[in-house]
Amino acid sequence: MIKKISFISATIIQVLFVISAFALQFLSKKKMGVMRHFVYYNKKIETIYNMPFLINAVSFIVLIIIILTAIVFFYFLKSKIYNNKYMMFLNISLFVLGILFIIFLRMFSRESLLAYYYMALIFFIVYIAELIKTSFYYLFIKKSKKY
């Protein structure tokens, strides 16, 4: 019961994060103060960090996670022991979120979206939360199948 409540609450928090990312982008188009804030912090972030390298590194890490997710998905698909529909759903969602995140990183830029760095950070947090959620569920399945 606690597992189910924690997974549902984590999913709700992820959805709220995604909604907040789109709200930030909406506000950056409508409110001048928010627009100025993003312009200032985008310049500040770019002077402190090498953002193209960080974007490429995050894309590479997410790509590795996608490949591992595909391998785990096919392992679960072949395995009769671990054939669990919720685990399949978590693997598919992890795969799809990773593909969408890489598409977002490659398709958009700071010039097209003022809240690009904030949105990328929020989407990365959502993706890592999904990875943690999938990993915990895998550990719960593995632990319950041993006994």
- CB neighbour list of residue 124: distance below 8 Å, 6 or more residues apart: 58, 101
pLDDT at position 139, please? 79
Write down the domain spans for the chain. 2-146
- pLDDT band at 126, cuts 50/70/90? very high
- pTM of the shown model: 0.83
Picking from 71, 76, 68, the residue whose alpha carbon sits closest to that of residue 142 is 76
Give the model confidence (pLDDT) of 20-43 as tens digits: 988 988 888 888 888 888 888 888
Give the model confidence (pLDDT) of 61-115 as tens digits: 999 999 988 888 787 777 765 567 777 788 888 889 999 999 998 898 877 888 8
- The answer on pLDDT for 7 being more than 90 is no
Q: Would you say 90 and 133 are in contact if contact means Cβ atoms under 8 Å apart?
A: yes
Whole-angstrom CA distances from 147 to 141, 142, 144 are: 10, 9, 6
At 54, give phi and psi (nearest 5°).
-65, -40
